[in-house]
Amino acid sequence: MAKKKVVIIDDEEDFCFLLSKLLESSGYFEVFLAYDGERGKNLVLEQKPDLIFLDYVMPKMRGDEILTIFKNDERIKRIPIIMTSGLGEAAYVAKIIQRDKGDHSLIGRLPLPRDLSREEALKLNQELGVEAFLEKPFSRQMLFQAIEKILGNLS
């Protein structure tokens, strides 16, 4: 079977390296890296991956701006996105995204929003167009669980 294409958009180079190594060592994936939103978009357009890993907190281009661009672009909006963040539970991050609209310079300064219930969280994910959240740090197990949920069985 052909390897799945994965694009990782994250400003942390080390993280990108490690994640790509982990994915590629499984043998199922071909990984492409971008360290910012602009280059990430170009990369996605170029490669048309099967999966995108998008970090929330990134300088330059605002986190969910990228998300919005992707979702509004016909060519790439159907590509599933896994969002990663060190900020905490998935729903929580989603809430932050919704509130901040990607202005992550506010992180660390505003009072934190109220937590979402499970239902709210799922709904938010759907609205945002995010397939799954992975909370950093995540284990290998959690990673492949999420991937398989989206892309189906890999083997």
CB nearer another protein, residue 41 or residue 104: 104
Per-residue tokens: 57: 């907190």
Is residue 140 close enough to count as binding another protein by CB under 8 A?
yes
**Least distance between another protein and beta carbon 155 (Å):** 17
CA angle 19, 8, 84 (to 5 degrees): 75
Is residue 152 close enough to count as binding another protein by CB under 8 A?
no
Crossing angle of helices 118-128 and 90-100, in 10° steps, is 50
Is residue 59 close enough to count as binding another protein by CB under 8 A?
no
Contact pattern from residue 21 through residue 50 relative to another protein, giving x for each residue in contact according to CB under 8 A and a dash for the rest: xx--x-------------------------
CB nearer another protein, residue 6 or residue 19: 19
Q: What whole-number distance in Å separates Cα of residue 125 and Cα of residue 148?
A: 18
Residue 25, Cβ neighbours under 10 Å: how many?
A: 9
